[in-house]
Amino acid sequence: MAVLPILHHPDPRLRQPTEPVRDFGAETQRLIDDMFETMYAAPGVGLAANQIGVQLRLAVMDCSRDPELRQPIVMVNPQIVEQVEPALVEEGCLSVPGGQEMVKRFRKLKLRAQDRHGQPFELDAEDLLAQCIQHEIGHLNGQLYIDLLSELKRERLLKRLKDAKQQD
């Protein structure tokens, strides 16, 4: 397994919609393992393939707080089929390091996807897991959480991050 570099905003590859996964062979399995390794090392709770420059509809997640109780989830070709209870939640992103803002997400959802071997599954998710699923599917659609902010908030956040980076 390998820790891969994570793309940062404004890399244009983050804005490109991803392509469906059709091959679940050894190369895809290695990619999934590398994505988990990268996500855990970051550290983060989710990582979409396009965040490492791979334009496939594939994301990994683990919302557990304890490394001893990991709950890894692989979602391939995911779709949200139902979502309810909008809520404001604080969100950040490995591709927008240092930034966190309140955004609107849905507290509950139903996901339809394939697992790492191509087997279909459905998942009812709530709270942090639901938020993470929405965030990662946003990535797969070429969107970042900052797109959910007002133009003014987005500009302020990006300016603050740029200023902080220049001071490093």
Which position among 91, 136, 151, 155 bears the catalytic label?
A: 136
Long-range contacts for 88-93 (Cβ within 8 Å, ≥24 apart)?
Answer: 89/131, 91/131, 91/135, 91/145, 92/145, 93/135, 93/144, 93/145, 93/146
Residue 147 token pair = 């797109």
157 in Cβ contact with 149 (< 8 Å): yes
Is residue 136 among the annotated active site residues?
Answer: yes
Report the SS3 class of residue 4.
coil
- In whole angstroms, give the CA distance from residue 118 to residue 56: 14
Active site residues: 136
